Structure 1
Amino acid sequence: LSTLAQNVQDAYAEYKTHEFLRQPLKQSFRLTLSLVLLLSTLFALWAALFMARRLLEPIYELARATRSVADGDYKSRLPVVHHDELGFLVGSFNDMTQRIHQARDAAALSQDQLEGQRSYLQTVLGHLSSGVLTLDDQLHIRTANDAVNALLDMDQPLENFANTHLADVARSHTTLQAFYDQLLPEFLEAGKEWSKEVRLFSDFGRRILMCHGIPLPGSVDDAMGQAIVIDDITKMVKAQRDAAWSEVARRLAHEIKNPLTPIQLSAERMAHKLKNQLHPAEQKVLERSTQTIIKQVDAMKDMVNAFRDYASAPPASYASMDLNQLINEVADLYVGIRAEVKIERQLSTDLPNLFADVSRLRQVLHNLISNAIDAIGDHSGQIQIVTDYVETGATHCAELRVRDSGVGIAEDLLEQLFEPYVTSKPKGTGLGLAIVAKIIEEHGGMVSAANLAEGGAEITIRLPDKSIMDDTLKSV
């Protein structure tokens, strides 16, 4: 019994000890479990972050490479680590950047080739004597070489007006305006090849341009344009025409002059020998017939002299001269010849001296005034001689206008009026105005004719002033 009591007492004492340690043990277990839970949570969080980083790192690299491509770096390549969908995306990105890089290199090569061809073409066009002007279908300027600028007297290159309508540029450039006005009908015929001769009056005098238009093929979305090739044929036309007509005139003068003297001598001898052998009535017939022959021979001699003057004019002798003074000298010779024809002079006091051949211009004035008197005929009328100093853009020239109140010029003769052997006179040779045109062209000038609304005709001559004429003579 005592043993049992001792066991109970020991058990109770042990219980009291355990009861005393219960609370500290609970706190210890709680702390331990909390630490284990915290460490497990931190480990799990670290593991999650680590896995997420490994999972998202290719995406970050892809985003960075995408920004590099956006900045123009097409050489970016990403390593393909995984063979899943993300690896497929990275591989596709690498293929895309490689193709873009190849396409960019090909485009750069094509651009270099294009620039090289353009530079080559500009070099070739820049050294051409022919002008080349290209326009789009709306007549906006595309390209123009240096020769175009020289031929059209441009003070600045036409290429500076790229994508500008040609008409807008022409408004501030006189020579270009005349060029545009004469070619406008051809410009509007899109898709057709055309050729036209254009006559301009520039700083260098009268200029003849041969213009050839060629349609340019356009792309599917780009309408067709045209290229205009311009050649200065002034000297060629003048040389060909002078050579041809001079040869004709020389041959005609030679062939006609030979029989004229024997004919005249035979008529005079016949009149002298038969005069006293015929009745008075027959003598009158003989005298009238022989006089007719002699007058016609003299007329033919005058025509031969005109042929000779046109075919072989002496070398010009240029000197400073006063045009108004020359007009007064020549016009005074015709005053009073026909009382019913009045000669009125309106001479500008601002007219500068010209550098010209006085004898040649004297011949021009004689031809013009005598033609004006012939145009008036047997009626009363008036001849006006007007001079002025005109400025057309950069060009300064003396202008001479001879007007008459005659019958005017037939419309079908206006275009060819200054060509040799073109005349409306029954007994005219057709060389008077041709000689006028030849002399004016030798002086670097331009001559034109027009009918007046109130009746009659007007011949207009423009001669460059001394400074321009000096440059013209130096270029001959």
Structure 2
Amino acid sequence: MSHFLFIRDEPSIPAKLREVFSAPEDRIVIRQSALEAKSSLARSAFDAVVIYSEGTELELKRTLCEIRELTEQIPIVVLTPEYNSSLENTAFENRADLYFAEPIPSKTLARVLMNQHENKQGNTSSSMQDWGNHPQQRSTNISHATSTLNVLRDLSHILSFSLDYKAFTQHFILKLREHISFSRIGIFLESSAKQSLVKNKQSKHLTCIASLGLPSDLVDCFQLSREVGIGRELTEYPRILHKESGTRSQFTHGNSGSAKEFSVLGCHLAIPITDREEIIGLAVLNGPVTGRDYTEDELELLYLLMEELGLAIRNSRLHSELAHHGQLIENVMHSMSSGAIVFSENLDILYMNDAAKRFLDLGQNNPDRRIEFAELPAKLAKPVHRAVEKGELLEPFKIDGLEPDEVYQVSIFPFSQKGELMRLPRPTMLIIEDFTKIEASKESARSDTKNQTISLIAERFAHEIRNSLVPLSTHAQLIDKKIQQPKFQASLKSAMLKETARIKRLSEQMLYMAQSSQAGGSEVQLNVIIQKAFQRARTQTDNTLAELKIENQLESLAPLTLEANPEALTHAFEELFLNSIQANPDAQIIQVEICQDLTGKRLVRLRDGGTGLTEDLVKQATEAFYTTRHTGVGLGLSVAQKVITEHQGELKLNSRTQERNWDIEIEFPSYRIHA
């Protein structure tokens, strides 16, 4: 792999130069100044430096001087948007190697950089060949940091050669033999957790995936294990293990498994293969072909190389596992009945399944055609753009489909790591669900509910009005014969007043349910409202025995006044008293308590002389048209609750307990009450 440093004021490569640096084996590092890559330049990590100069001669000179202060040997290429003889002179005076001006000959530049890299590699190979042909100097050379770095760099090309870790491991041991003399080697690895979304337990068996000098039938039949022998010793105590030291190791526990495994494989040395986190396998090999022992430097190099091999194997396996998971996710999304579209942070459409294409009528005739963001309808493009660019979490919304009655629900989910700060823009996923049948079902249910409600209202009101008309029509039939009788006149008057009051109450209930009760607000005294409502309720029920007792725990304060619609609030309390009197006609006393809780809220509590409300009544009593009596339409408590709620109050029903010995509690906000 080639490493190039590209220096420019802007953090990007000009479009005309991108093909020069587009090779997959090239690593391009873009910086705005040489000092931003100070450590890398000092360590000769780059194969060449490319300066794209758009500034003055002074700026170019400063950049070149900074580079040469850090390293003398690295090639430097200066590029400018247009030819400038002064910049050219400045470049060469400050030891730049090449100067090009636009239009830049991209092929020439690419060939120059490639040759530079090949020359460097050729020198490395040559030096390594010389190192391999002089055994007497091997120990001296390998101890030198530059030689070790060259060996590691040379073998790193092999480890990045392929994503097939078995293939590059085999190639790795062939290349390794050019630097370390052995005739037999085996690489044993644990099985990976690939092809599974759930990680398997650590494998106990180590299988040979690459070998040199080992019989093929032995490779096919023989395995190592983490529980015994060499595998156990290196798992418990990672180190370079010799055959002789293995038999005496404190970790063998008297087990000669290591010696037997060394003997079967015909090897003398075992080296752990780690991925810098854990041991994933081990390498077993024999000594040098000359019969001598490996030097300490050679063993150290072998250990480092096996660590590099372990990293490459882990990366290869991760790539394979991610590819498998990605394919699995794609298969899942492809089989979804809902449409799925994934957008990148640049608003590119990364994926769109067939359902989404069908819903939006995009690309069905050409499944391989790439769908662009601009092809999306505006009703989708706009919210997606806000979600990607601004990170807005939009609520699901409905859109119309292609057909007249089609309805889709759209949900947008921005991607973010758990616990990670939101970085914008960010990738986003859009889900389109066909809600046509659901909306049709909801509309049908609403229509059925509406019809049922209308039917219930008509039935209840017809029944109640009929009950009111019966005594009136009876008197109407007798009016010609008994109109002169005082007793009949009194009965007719009573019937007319009672039944017209009942009909008036029904009409008022419907009006309060249909419209707001807040109009016409003024300051009223709460005591006056309560007493007036009770008198109306007693008159309407014709119950002269009913009594009201008000206990005002705040009597030391001035009379409580409330900002309210007096008629509406009186009607609400009237409904509460009517409910209490009609539910318990024999219970003559209704108690009202005005108090204040620990938080300072003003409360009105009501309790009649009956047995109180059951748990079922507490849950259902305020529902419209719910009633347990044969008279009335079941709107009394519903109207009372609505009126009180519109005055920012809260009505609560209670099943009596020793701690809460009341039936109804009304709480009014303090900002509406004046003491």
TM (norm. structure 2) is 0.33
Q: Which one has more relative contact order, counting CA pairs under 8 Å at least 6 apart?
A: 1
Q: Which has the larger radius of gyration?
A: 1
